[in-house]
Structure 1
Amino acid sequence: MESIESVVETCCRELLGVMRREDPFDLQGRLVEDYGLSSLQLVTLVTTVCEETGLPLTALTERDIARMKTAGDIAAIVQGALQAVKPS
């Protein structure tokens, strides 16, 4: 499976629409302040990442969503949630 960071980066690039693959992408760049994403785009991004990784959106809490300021935050939170819902 593709890494969570790669999934998040790919989803961000698709959402931004103007970044070429060879353009640098900073996982620690702030999605609103640095990349200019709107609230709706953030919801779309998180929803798409959940779909791509197989994580039920309901596995994320309000607190999780509030902490998602960077693509790296999304990757870390989704990774943690995937581990929590993964059957033992």
Structure 2
Amino acid sequence: MIETFLSGRSVLAVLVTMRKVRDVSVINEEDTATWALACAVYRRTQLAVTDTTHMRPDDAQITTIVLDDRPQATGEAS
């Protein structure tokens, strides 16, 4: 698990790079894990950015995007 802080330009670079890897039409077995990871990172980041509002209700300057695919513990709300 890592925590990182990215500027808007860096988030855009992540999306562009992950999409390029995801869209590679020929995938050999050695690149399958890289392709799968790129697909997951692209999908989750794109969804998080799409869901982010332009103005936060608490007027904070920082928007937090959490990419966490771990299953929720039993009894936790989604």
TM over 0.5: no
Structure with the larger RCO, 1 or 2 (CA within 8 Å, 6+ apart): 1
Larger radius of gyration: 2
* Structure having the larger proportion of residues in helix: 1
TM-score, scaled relative to structure 1: 0.28
TM-score, scaled relative to structure 2: 0.30
